[in-house]
Chains A and B, each alone.
Chain A
């Protein structure tokens, strides 16, 4: 699809918007619909679109497979780590109220962090699975 100029130009316009929308969904999930899962999928889909339109090699240069695999584990570790941090601060596992002075602030911080972890893992999972499928040649 290297020669298709309409697709290339349109996706060039779209991809920044998709990434921005993913970040909006990620951090606005407390107030509207959305959250880590949806944001991760949208974020990953931007890279998949890039890989489909341009080519898989440039996408691999932008996000190497190693990065997406490390991010896959990192998101889960962030989630679990927030729970452990709560334990060290004297609460129960995954109780965010102890993360800050005011319980609701702690809850807010905890939710933002674990949603970020969810988003990282989901986006990395999407990109990794896509790479794996695209890397298999016939």
Chain B
């Protein structure tokens, strides 16, 4: 993944960048499978590697395939990245070992979910019962986020063809103004 990351930064051809970022998410998805998080891996592969790549390609078709090269090199962004990375790594030092049963996250509500979900919810997949039942509010929020995001896209660039054509016929400039 680190190799792909470096290649992403170095590459100037945006088509290659999109392909590589798809590869990056696919690698992340297989990493989740290794960590036994199948549900997350599933989502990552479908959304990250599939849909996001298609949407990025669509965007490329609308804009341009080459990155604008700036020759100016500034130190501030580099410093910011290094400091943020160092803080993140410092933060992981305190984390319990992966899969440690004594970790705080496994002590809070997780045991109750694991022990009671079979009786209370009766759905074999605990991930589903937590997602949809115990954490129903959160999932509702997520769906609302998706709805709002799509509504935002529609509001920004989603004017229907009919209104665009009508506007195009009204303005003297024709097509150019309608966009």
Contacts and interface: CB of A to CB of B under 8 A. Distances in A.
Contact of B161 (A45, A97, A124, A135): A135
B153 to A, nearest CB: 5
B125 A31 contact: yes
B154 A130 contact: no
A103 interface: yes
A76 B131 CA distance: 16
Nearest to B33: A33
A94 B132 CA distance: 9
B129 interface: yes
Interface residues of B, number: 45
Given A42-B46, A104-B122, A111-B123, A94 B128 contact: no
Nearest to B39: A33
Contact of A125 (B50, B128, B147, B157): B147
Nearest to B136: A94
B51 interface: yes
B120 A111 contact: no
Contacts of B157: 132-133, 136
A136 B160 contact: no
Interface residues of A, number: 53
B54 interface: yes
A127 B97 CA distance: 41
B146 interface: yes
A94 B54 CA distance: 35
B55 A129 contact: yes
Interface in B136-158: 136-137, 139-140, 142-144, 146-147, 149-151, 153-154, 157-158
B28 interface: no
A116 B112 CA distance: 27
B30 interface: no
Chain A interface secondary structure, helix, strand, loop or mixed?
Answer: helix
Given A29-B125, A33-B125, A76 B143 contact: yes
Of A126, A129, A134, chain B has the most CB atoms within 10 Å of the CB of A129
A127 to B, nearest CB: 10
Interface in B89-126: 119-125
Contact of A30 (B55, B59, B124): B124
B58 A110 contact: no
Contact of A33 (B42, B123, B142, B147): B42
A129 B52 CA distance: 11
Nearest to A75: B143
Question: Nearest 8 pairs between A and B by C-beta?
Answer: A104-B122, A94-B136, A33-B38, A133-B58, A125-B150, A41-B46, A132-B158, A111-B132
Interface of A: 25, 29-35, 37-38, 41-42, 44-45, 48, 52, 65, 69, 72-73, 75-76, 79-80, 83, 94, 96-97, 103-105, 107-108, 110-111, 114-115, 117-118, 121-122, 124-126, 128-130, 132-136, 138
